[in-house]
């Protein structure tokens, strides 16, 4: 008998003795069942199997899904995906065969999980999230996770996090809070996308998103109701003014439509607005082309950085805008810093930061922006996501937990936002299953927390 076998045998004997003594103390009417349940809780689960597959995201593009097994059950997770934005984010591994899903299939990432990651993680304790994540990082050996693929690593990391919560028999958000060392739980204030523009939308709106933020709601369910009602009022407003096929408007026109939709409800004083500019998409050298989508460009809507600042100032003065995401190009640090220093609204770094700790540190040191947009697949593991949120909060920044354009039904970011007390979540419009999966999970969490549920609301930037 080896030393390990000897220790395991005696440890098991001690656990059996503890279970018998507990049954006696409890005066259980069914001591056998009591002892079995006690033993089940006493013996730690380990990862016994990991199985990955290719599924489709909300755009119909392949992504990775993982089933992770312990003796407590099966825990499933999938990796969101988006348009790669540059050299500062983790690498999404795709096959590149143009004859299969136009090159977007992810069978290499799936095989990396089934053949490499699973071997490295089987036998590990699912509650030890940082050790699991580090094991995958060490196995990959690249800075951007390009060997195994961030889509492979993240799906496993999220599945392991769910398994860790299952092992502890606590809700996922509570397990995440424990991992982060955060005693407070906060249900975030949502930013609902109500008008989409930018390079992918079929209109001429240059900026990517106009969002409504129900900071005046008292509870999350009330915030969701506000978002849904205004969303459908807006559809009616657009139909009345521009017909059933939508509208082609500028920033002001889009904001006017949203303002009118809000006015048709009783929520006018409770709703603020956020903009997702994604200005890198319409930056031309040192100028910004607000007509970049117009088929009949006049050349009259090019703006310098200084003119863009004046435009944003005017918009914030005229509309209840509290947050602007990526107001300038991702390398235009000086103009982002200028508008951030005005203090008129929250300035969020998305493509500026890429959820990259080095970029975040630079932005902190240079006072470039004052909020982080966290996209978990830009960094790649639950542990690293927790670390960059702490980095941002230590700098007194706001934190927005964000969805991606390629989403799945996985509601993980809802629990992540509560567990990390981010205060803000951006999961899209209040429609479509992959978006509502996040909002509906927040409803369940609110119900579960009961009187202890704290909705960020007016404390959206700095919750408890």
Q: Please state the length of the chain.
A: 464
Helix ranges restricted to H, 113-191:
118-121, 129-140, 150-168, 172-180
- Give me the half-sphere count of Cα atoms (radius 13 Å) on the Cβ side of residue 70: 25
Dist CA 392 CA 178 (whole Å): 18
Catalytic-residue membership of 297: no
What angle do helix axes 305-318 and 251-263 make, rounded to 10 degrees?
Answer: 10
Residue 426 is assigned to a ligand binding site: yes
The answer to whether the annotation marks 209 as part of a ligand binding site is yes
Is 272 labelled a binding residue? no
Which among 293, 330, 375, 438 is annotated as catalytic? Answer: 375
Q: Among 199, 252, 297, 358, which one carries the catalytic annotation? A: 252
Question: What are the DSSP E strand ranges found in 204-337?
Answer: 209-213, 272-276, 283-284, 287-289, 302-303, 321-325
Q: Is 10 labeled as ligand-binding?
A: no
Contact between 140 and 147 (Cβ < 8 Å): yes
Q: Which residues pair with 68 in a beta bridge?
A: 50, 75
Please report, for residues 192, 357, 365, 368, 427, the alpha-carbon distance to residue 378 in angstroms, rounded to integers and kept in the order given: 22, 11, 21, 20, 16
Q: Is 50 helix (H, G, I), strand (E, B) or coil?
A: strand
200 labelled as ligand-binding?
A: yes
168 is catalytic: no
405 is in an annotated binding site: yes
38 appears as a binding residue in the annotation: no
CA–CA separation, 326 and 400 (whole Å): 13
Beta-strand ranges (E) seen in 368-464 are 371-374, 398-402, 423-428
Element (DSSP H or E) covering residue 196: strand 189-196
d(CA 214, CA 456): 10
**Alpha helix (H) residue ranges in 181-304:** 220-242, 251-263
User: Which of 247, 252, 243, 254 lies closest to 211, judged by CA?
Assistant: 254
- β-strand 73-78 against 62-70: which pairing, if any? antiparallel
Binding-site positions for substrate: 200, 209, 325, 350, 402-405, 426
Binding-site positions: 200, 209, 325, 350, 402-405, 426
* Active site amino acids: 252, 375
Binding-site positions for Mg(2+): 325, 350
């Amino acid at each position: 008998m080896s030393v390990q076998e000897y220790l395991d045998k005696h440890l098991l004997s001690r656990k059996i003795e503890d279970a018998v003594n507990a049954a006696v103390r409890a005066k259980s009417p069914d001591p056998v069942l009591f002892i079995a349940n006690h033993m089940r809780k006493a013996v730690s689960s380990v990862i016994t199997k990991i199985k990955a597959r290719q599924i489709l995201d909300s755009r119909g593009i392949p992504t990775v899904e993982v089933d992770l097994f312990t003796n407590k059950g099966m825990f499933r997770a999938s990796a969101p995906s988006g348009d790669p934005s540059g050299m500062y984010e983790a690498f999404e591994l795709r096959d590149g065969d143009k004859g299969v899903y136009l090159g977007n299939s992810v069978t290499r990432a799936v095989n990396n999980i089934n053949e490499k990651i699973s071997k490295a993680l089987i036998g590990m304790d699912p509650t030890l999230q940082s050790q699991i994540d580090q094991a995958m990082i060490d196995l990959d050996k690249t800075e951007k996770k390009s060997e195994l693929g961030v889509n492979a690593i993240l799906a496993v990391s999220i599945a392991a996090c769910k398994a860790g919560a299952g092992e502890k028999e606590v809700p996922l958000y509570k397990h995440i809070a424990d991992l982060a060392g955060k005693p407070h739980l906060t249900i975030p204030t949502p930013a609902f996308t109500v008008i989409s523009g930018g390079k992918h939308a079929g209109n001429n709106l240059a900026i990517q998103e106009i969002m409504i933020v129900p900071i005046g709601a008292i509870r999350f369910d009330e915030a969701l109701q506000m978002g849904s009602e205004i969303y459908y009022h807006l559809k009616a407003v657009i139909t009345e003014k521009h017909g059933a096929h939508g509208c082609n408007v500028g920033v002001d026109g889009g904001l006017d439509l949203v303002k009118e939709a809000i006015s048709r409800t009783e929520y006018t004083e409770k709703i603020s607005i956020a903009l997702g500019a994604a200005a890198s998409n319409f930056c031309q050298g040192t100028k910004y082309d607000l007509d970049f989508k117009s088929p009949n460009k006049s050349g009259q809507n090019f703006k310098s950085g200084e003119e863009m600042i004046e435009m944003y100032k005017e918009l914030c003065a005229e509309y209840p805008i509290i947050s602007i995401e990526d107001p300038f190009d991702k390398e235009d640090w000086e103009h982002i810093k200028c508008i951030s220093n005005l203090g008129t609204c929250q300035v969020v770094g998305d493509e500026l930061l890429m959820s990259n700790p080095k970029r975040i540190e630079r932005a902190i040191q240079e006072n470039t922006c004052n909020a982080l947009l966290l996209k978990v697949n830009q960094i790649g593991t639950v542990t690293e996501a927790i670390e960059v949120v702490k980095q941002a909060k230590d700098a007194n920044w706001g934190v927005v937990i964000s969805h991606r354009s390629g989403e799945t039904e996985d509601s993980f970011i809802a629990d992540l936002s509560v567990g990390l007390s981010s205060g803000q979540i951006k999961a899209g419009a209040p429609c479509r299953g992959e978006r509502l999966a996040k909002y509906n999970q927040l409803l369940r969490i609110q119900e579960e927390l009961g009187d202890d549920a704290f909705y960020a609301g007016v404390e959206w930037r700095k919750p408890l």
